[in-house]
Structure formats: structure tokens, C-alpha cells
Structure 1
Amino acid sequence: MRIHHINCGTDCPFGGGLFDGRSAGPLGHLVCHCLLIETNEGLVLVDTGYGLKDVRDPFPRLSRPFAAMLNIRLREQETAIRQVEALGYSPADVRHIVLTHLDFDHAGGLEDFPNATIHVMAAELEAFHQRTGFVPRNRYRPMQLDEVRNWRRYAPDGEGWFGFQAVRQLEGLPPEILMVPLKGHTWGHAGIAVDTGDGWLLHAGDAYFYRDEVRRPDRKCTPGLRLYQNMMEVDRRSRLENQARLRELSLDQGAGVKMICAHDVVEYEAARAGRPL
């Protein structure tokens, strides 16, 4: 099983280091960190980032307020479909897409892979269709899902995994890929765990946003990302409890679990280069 770390979207919010913790100028640098996994069952994507239609005709597929707030930079070469092609594959080789959640910057490329089976928590799809309130209407964009038909929905009722409960094995996928419920950022948010053969890799999605929220005993987060997390959360208690459990797991050297989130550029660069996180 081979894992490719790909960035499927760049955001440059005003505030620089107040968001990403390192930029010296006025603009920050956030990524949409996705995974492309080679398996015996074909290619598997974990999240898609922005898609071709988002790039070519962004509104109303994307929310204008959120696009302005994040200062989104839409680039065709960063879409998952173009990166799949750049690796020598056809979009039809992508058989499965496993979603951490359905926010616009995680699910925008679903329509670029019409033959893929889409795996998501049932609670997330339900929340997407309800879209009640300012944040849900702007985070969940119906046009991004208009042509998506092949869904697999999961309830949180599986096995245990390093202290997390209700972890699901996914239909049609090898047992090395698991969905780990991490409610809080959204109602159906999940992490995706992959057994690499040399330990586990957990894509935690938006369960945390900044590299120093894990791998250290005291949580540290930039003001901009702390504010964004608070604005987007649906269940603060669950979000913070799950984040604390992730932090504990990240500090457990015996567990052998490497952890990444969706938007931290330093984590993404380290993962791409094969450096320790």
C-alpha cells in the first residue's frame, strides 16, 4: 500500500503568522491535505479538496463570504483529478473516496470522479441536507454534490481503536483503512486511519487545525485558527474531548500512530518529504 500526500487547495487568509504560525507577510498559507492511496482494490482518495468546477466557475459552488475570509486560491493543477493524472493514472482508477466530512474545501472534487464510491458518516450527510443557519449554509454547498450518486453511509457502531470507539471498516475497502468518528467540528466528522505496514497514519481531518495542538502535552494554536475552529464547531465539548484524546494518542510512543490534519502546511511539507512530524 503506497500513500501519496497531495495538496488539493490553497488558502491565504489575511493575518499571516496569526494563522499558520510562520508567515512573516500579511498572508497566511493553509493547505487542503488529502491522501491518494494505492491499494489492490484501486486508488482511494481521502478527501478531495476543491474540484475542477470550483476552479472554473466558483460561485455559487463556493460561499462568497468564506472564499473572501480564507482568501482561497483556486488552481486547476492542485485539483485531485489533475494530480491523479500527473501520477500516470486515469480518474476512473479512483474507485473509492473516503471523506472526513462534507465541508466545501473537502468535498469539492467529488464530481470529478463519477465512478467512485463515496464513504461518509450518515450523520454528516444528514447535516449537509439540513443546512440550517449561517455556517451550515456556507460550509455545505449543494452544487458540489449534485451529480454524486454512489454513497455508502455509516453509523458509529463499529470496533475500538486505540481508545476510540465505533470505528468502522469500510465496504469494498481493505481492512487497513478505517473510519474513526470524531464528532465536534461537524456532526458526522471522522478521521481516516490507514495501516501502512509500518504503523498507522491517522488523517484527522479538521479535528485539529494546527500542528502544536497535538504531539505536545499543552495545546498551542494560533489565534486565527483558534477563532476559525470555534466559529465552525457544532459540538464544543465533543470537539475538545476528541482533540484531547488525539493529543494523548500522538504522545503515546508505543502506539506508533502518525497524525496529520487537513490544513497545516508544516505537517503537509513534512509528510511529503517523509520527515518526522
Structure 2
Amino acid sequence: MRVHHLNCGTMAVPAMNLVAHCLLLELDDRLALIDAGYGLGDVAQPSRLGPGRYATFPVLDKAETAYEQIRALGLDPADVRDVVLTHADLDHAGGVPDFPDADIHMTSAEAYAWLHPGRQEALRYRPAHHAHGPRIVEHTADGEPWRGFAAAKPILGDSVVMISMPGHTSGHAAIAVEADDRTIVHAGDAFFDRRQIRGGFPHPGLVAFEALIGLNKRQVMANHGRLKELHRSGGESVKVINAHDAVMFREMAGS
């Protein structure tokens, strides 16, 4: 398997440089995406993102969309048969409509919230991102223990594993990708700043933003602890990343 690290949405947040870190997987017979960032429709019609407080000031560059980056790699976007979402926030699911023939994998809890948003979900999810009626493949939160996590299950063969990790949203998940000599754990928005799991002082703005939009603070903090332990115990064979830390993105893109 070949893994490409894509920034599918630079966000011009004051005093911070955030990205939308997605993974493109070259599988034997198809392509798959882990998260989809902002999409072509968002770039063409920014108003579809709305004025909500969770829009996070995206730059919305067409060249940063997963669709265009796949083309730039000499690959065919039509070969994307699976899009796996850590969750359905607008900066993670915006690219879903660009791959209308793909199966959209997410937890059952997240799928329900995406399609039937409550008051809080309406600020973070956008109906335009599923208006085309995508094929949603729901995954329950059960599964087998995996590296200290209680529930994980393979979803694309044995090389892509979904780990239930609610907190940021009701159905948030992390996605583990077994890639050659290491495991990449894309934790989505389970943490925002690399220093929350590596040690050090995280950016106070990110800490505040995480607290603002996190659905369950207790679960968010518990996830930090589990991911910190995974980072500590995994050594060089396990790379724990998130969706928005630009330093983590540059580390992985350059590795």
C-alpha cells in the first residue's frame, strides 16, 4: 500500500496555521481516502459552508481539494471507491460529493447525526455534503481490542481499522492504517495540537477551540490519555497524527 498525505484545506485562523490532513491510499484494486477535507463545491460556492462559527476561515483553494490533488498525482479520481470519515464536520466531509461512486464509511452514530442533525450538529455539518445521496456504510462501535483500545474493527481488509473514539462528536472515530513498516493512526479531531500527546504546552487558542466544539469534554480528555499512551508505547512503528496540526502534516508529508 502506498500512502499519500494531502492537505485538503488550509485554514487561516488568526495566529495559527491549520490544515485538513487527509490520507490517500493506493490499494491493490482502487483508491481510498481517509477524510475528504473541503471539496470542489465548497470552493465554487463558499456560501454553502454558511456563516456558522465552525467554518474556521478556510482558504478554499481548488488545487488543495482531494479531487485535484489526486489528478496531480497522475491518478484517476474515479478510482476512489471508499471514503472513510473520522467524522462529518464540514472540513472533513466537504469533499464527499466529489466522489459520487464511493462508499462513505463512518460510525452509525456519526451517520445518524450527519443525516439528522440536532441543534449543535447543525453548526458543524452541512446538508450540501450529502445532498447527492451517497452510499453510506455504517459501522457499529463494537469490535475487538486493538493496542489498548476496547473496540476496533477492520473495514477495508485488515489494513484499515476503525477505532471508536467519541467525544469530539457523538460518532467520532480514529482510523489506523497498516502501511508497510509502520502504523499510521489518523485520530481526526480527537486532539488538536501535537503537544497534547507528545508533551509540552499546546497552543491556548487550539485548547479553547477544542473545548468550544467538543461534544463531551470528559471523553475528549480520556481520548488524549489513550492516544498519548499509544504514542509513547508505539515508538517509531506507530505514528499518531491528527487532522489540523500543520507541523504533523509536514513531518508525515516529508517522510
TM-score of the superposed pair, with normalisation by structure 1: 0.89
Aligned equivalents of 1:123, 1:142: Cα separation in 2: 17
Aligned equivalents of 1:236, 1:262: Cα separation in 2: 19
Q: 1:67 Cα deviation (Å)?
A: 6.5
Which residue in the other structure is 1:22 paired with?
none
- Structure 1 pair 11–254 and aligned structure 2 pair: CA distance change class (3 A): closer
Are residues 1:6 and 2:6 paired?
A: yes
Are residues 1:189 and 2:172 paired?
A: yes
Question: In the TM superposition, what are the counterparts of 1:94-109 in structure 2 within 5 Å?
Answer: 94-109=80-95
Contact conserved, 2:164 with 2:172, CA < 8 A, in 1? Answer: yes
| 3-state SS of paired residue (2:174) | strand
Query: Which residue identity is paired with 2:238?
Result: V
Q: 1:181 Cα deviation (Å)?
A: 0.8
Work out which of the residue numbers 161, 180, 192 in structure 2 matches 1:178: 161
Which residue in the other structure is 2:230 paired with?
249
Once the two structures are aligned, what percentage of the paired residues are identical?
Answer: 42
How many pairs are equivalent?
A: 255
Q: 1:92 Cα deviation (Å)?
A: 1.0
Q: 1:65 Cα deviation (Å)?
A: 3.2
Which residue in the other structure is 2:23 paired with?
35
Are residues 1:66 and 2:49 paired?
A: no
Are residues 1:137 and 2:122 paired?
A: yes
Contact conserved, 1:121 with 1:154, CA < 8 A, in 2? Answer: yes
Aligned equivalents of 2:230, 2:54: Cα separation in 1: 34
Deviating runs (4+, > 6 A) in structure 1?
A: none
Work out which of the residue numbers 220, 235, 242 in structure 1 matches 2:201: 220
Aligned equivalents of 2:234, 2:98: Cα separation in 1: 39
Q: 1:211 Cα deviation (Å)?
A: 1.1
Aligned equivalents of 1:264, 1:43: Cα separation in 2: 24
Work out which of the residue numbers 196, 200, 211 in structure 1 matches 2:183: 200
Aligned equivalents of 1:200, 1:4: Cα separation in 2: 14
Deviations, residues 128-154 of structure 1 (Å, cap 9, x unaligned): 233222x42120111111013211001
Which residue in the other structure is 1:267 paired with?
248
Which residue in the other structure is 1:125 paired with?
111
| 3-state SS of paired residue (1:248) | helix
Q: 1:220 Cα deviation (Å)?
A: 3.0
Aligned equivalents of 2:133, 2:61: Cα separation in 1: 22
Over the aligned positions, Cα root-mean-square deviation in angstroms equals 1.4
Contact conserved, 2:190 with 2:224, CA < 8 A, in 1? Answer: yes
Contact conserved, 2:54 with 2:123, CA < 8 A, in 1? Answer: no
TM-score of the superposed pair, with normalisation by structure 2: 0.96
Deviations, residues 171-224 of structure 1 (Å, cap 9, x unaligned): xx22110001111000110011011121211000000011111123xx632111
Contact conserved, 1:110 with 1:148, CA < 8 A, in 2? Answer: no
| 3-state SS of paired residue (2:49) | coil
- Structure 1 pair 67–234 and aligned structure 2 pair: CA distance change class (3 A): closer
Aligned equivalents of 2:54, 2:137: Cα separation in 1: 29
Structure 2 residue runs of 5 or longer lacking an equivalent are none
Which residue in the other structure is 1:240 paired with?
221
